[in-house]
Chains A and B, each alone.
Chain A
Amino acid sequence: MIVKEALLQGEKQQIKEFLTKFSLKMDEVEGSLYLEDDDKIVGTISYLGNIIKCLAVDPLYQSENAATLLINELISRLNEKNIYSYFVFTKPMYQNIFLSFGFRLIVKDDKVVFLEGGNDKIEEEIKKIKRKLEFYLGPIEENSDIACVIVNANPMTTGHEYLIETASKNHDQVVVFVVEEDKSIFSFQERLTLVYLACKRLENVAVIPSSKYIVSSLTFPSYFLPSDSVDTELARIDALVYKNYFKKIIHFKKRYLGKETKEKMVKYNEVLKEELGEDIIEVERYVEDGVVVSASLVRKYLENKDLDSALKYIPKGNQTFFSLMVKDKYGI
């Protein structure tokens, strides 16, 4: 038995076929390894960034340490890429396999387990975030009146500004987490800068990266779930991580959400409300001149190269920087 990296299209196709035997779909991946015996695939594992996914081993080989070979090889490859902390989302039935490799349980529900392995520990990482926040906002105690807003802000609009302002008025301290991913049209750095600029005038607001522990739809692997339950599960995991770690350690009292209109996101907010109950405050969408402001509206204007209309929904403090930024991106 030998572990190989899938480089050719043909190999990738074979892995895909192999996975269907386990009723798994091939998810979006960065690279895949497979285990070969007699010119046949008998096991496979893949990764995307720091997320390990699509592990499957032929039942005939399960007693031969095949999973260990694959996981070891993958971990050393991730280490070569300077990734020393990694995550796994899997079915509860596989929880023990990963625990035996030294992975630690973060949260679980009846359909998904979320584990982490490697160097960083969630409690310590969130305590680090807390220390950073105290630098901006002053001491955070158990009874501090502190709230948080999690935004993707792709790009930051007056709607986001309104949501953050509302939280800032109602609470002593407010934390804005910007989702840390480079898959949106605007890069993470750009989005963070825009949010930071817009919030600069609000003294009780700190803007920081969301950390890799705030799970988003872009990284959440869904290949082992029936497609109708993906959004609900994602929201549930998000809620559990928030409740068991962020809320517990940073003592958040409320989490602010913007009211959603898209069906998918409405469902997401529903689940959050279900899990977190009174901790959730849903703020009505910001309406400007009878138009409901949203990031997708701004993106639509930009695609039509209509910068003036787009700028109407961009916070004042951002407009100069924003115009410069979209110049290259959209050729306006």
Chain B
Amino acid sequence: MSDIQKIGSAGSVESNDCLVTISASDHLEVEIQSIVDAFFHDQIEKVVLDTLKEKGLNNVKVSLQDKGALDYTIKARLLTAIERMEAK
């Protein structure tokens, strides 16, 4: 069964980058996998939530695989993923 899902993805799993996948959902869910999780989990989550708020998105599932991306990388990747999702 392949129901076409609203989904977008951007980034890579190279060092200093992150792979963001965002899909429509019935509630807000953010999932973070990071090599610097112990230090920056909260910071990464904040960037994601702030960006989603800026775009007015409440019901999405974001999963982020981070390889030490800086804040603005995360934000840029997320914004691209959102645009790709909305283009569908």
Q: Mark A60-88, 1 if CB is under 8 A from B, else 0.
A: 00000100100110011001001010000
A75 to B4, CA, bound (A): 18
Interface range on chain B (Cβ under 8 Å from partner): 10 to 19
A72 to B11, CA, bound (A): 9
B23 contacts partner chain A, Cβ-Cβ < 8 Å? yes
Q: Mark A228-241, 1 if CB is under 8 A from B, else 0.
A: 00000000000000
Cross-chain contact B1 with A209 (CB below 8 angstroms): yes
Q: Mark B3-18, 1 if CB is under 8 A from A, else 0.
A: 0110101001111000
A301 contacts partner chain B, Cβ-Cβ < 8 Å? no
A102 contacts partner chain B, Cβ-Cβ < 8 Å? yes
Closest to A69 in B: B14
Cross-chain contact B13 with A101 (CB below 8 angstroms): yes
CB < 8 Å: which of A71, A79, A82, A119 contacts B13? A71
Cross-chain contact A119 with B12 (CB below 8 angstroms): no
Interface range on chain A (Cβ under 8 Å from partner): 10 to 19
Closest to A102 in B: B65
B19 contacts partner chain A, Cβ-Cβ < 8 Å? yes
Cross-chain contact A84 with B13 (CB below 8 angstroms): no
Q: How far is the CB of A195 from chain B (nearest CB, A)?
A: 15
A-B contact count (CB 8 A): 35
Closest to A117 in B: B65
A118 contacts partner chain B, Cβ-Cβ < 8 Å? yes
A71 to B19, CA, bound (A): 12
A75 to B15, CA, bound (A): 16
Q: How far is the CB of A45 from chain B (nearest CB, A)?
A: 14
Q: How far is the CB of A18 from chain B (nearest CB, A)?
A: 23
Q: Is the interface of B mostly helix, strand, loop or mixed?
A: strand
Cross-chain contact B9 with A82 (CB below 8 angstroms): no
Contacts of B7 in A (CB 8 A): 82, 84, 119
A209 to B63, CA, bound (A): 26
Q: How far is the CB of B88 from chain A (nearest CB, A)?
A: 9
Closest to B1 in A: A209
B43 contacts partner chain A, Cβ-Cβ < 8 Å? no
A102 to B14, CA, bound (A): 11
Cross-chain contact B21 with A118 (CB below 8 angstroms): yes
- Given A72-B13, A84-B7, A101-B13, A119-B19 contact (CB < 8 Å): no
A71 to B12, CA, bound (A): 9
Contacts of A84 in B (CB 8 A): 5, 7, 9, 21, 23
B33 contacts partner chain A, Cβ-Cβ < 8 Å? yes
- B20-34 interface (Cβ within 8 A of A): 21, 23, 33
Cross-chain contact A119 with B14 (CB below 8 angstroms): no
Cross-chain contact B12 with A72 (CB below 8 angstroms): yes
- Given A102-B33, A119-B63, A209-B1, A68-B21 contact (CB < 8 Å): no
Q: Mark A38-78, 1 if CB is under 8 A from B, else 0.
A: 00000000000000000000000000010010011001100
Closest to B63 in A: A119
Q: How far is the CB of A311 from chain B (nearest CB, A)?
A: 30
Contacts of A72 in B (CB 8 A): 12-14
Cross-chain contact A68 with B14 (CB below 8 angstroms): yes
CB < 8 Å: which of A65, A82, A118, A180 contacts B14? A65
Could you list 9 further interchain pairs (A-B, Cβ under 8 angstroms) beyond the known A72-B13, A75-B13?
A: A65-B14, A71-B13, A72-B12, A84-B5, A84-B9, A84-B23, A102-B19, A119-B21, A119-B23
Chain B contact residues, CB within 8 Å of chain A: 1, 4-5, 7, 9, 12-15, 19, 21, 23, 33, 61, 63, 65
Q: Which 7 A-B pairs have the closest CB atoms?
A: A102-B65, A72-B12, A79-B9, A101-B13, A119-B21, A102-B33, A209-B1
Pull 21 A–B residue pairs with CB atoms less than 8 Å apart, ordered by A.
Answer: A68-B13, A72-B12, A72-B13, A72-B14, A75-B13, A76-B12, A79-B9, A84-B5, A84-B9, A84-B21, A84-B23, A101-B13, A102-B19, A102-B33, A118-B21, A119-B21, A119-B23, A119-B61, A119-B63, A180-B1, A209-B1
